[in-house]
Amino acid sequence: MKFLTRDGCHLCDEARPVVQRVARRLRVDVVEVDIDSDDDLTARYGLRIPVVLGDAGQVLGEGLIDARELRRAMREVMG
């Protein structure tokens, strides 16, 4: 899964440990991506970060990331 962030994003800083904890619990790898390194990601997700994407690009969470909701969304896409 991808965790979309950017430098100076306080919501990203708050979400990071939640995303890491949920991913560890479900044994899923997390790739953190700074959206400012990619013009397409910046255009698409600029004000929506943090965003958690599944392997197929589906949005699993954004903004205030809740561990319970993220776990549920991840389990749905994992089957």
- Looking at residue 48, its pLDDT comes to 92
pLDDT (tens digit per residue) in 4-49: 999 999 999 999 999 999 999 999 999 999 999 999 999 999 999 9
Specify the DSSP class assigned to residue 52: E
Residue 78 has pLDDT above 90, yes or no: no
CA distance 64 to 55: 20
Class of CATH domain 2-78: alpha beta
Helix axes 10-26, 67-78, angle to 10 degrees: 50
- Looking at residue 35, its pLDDT comes to 97
Residue ranges of domains in the chain: 2-78
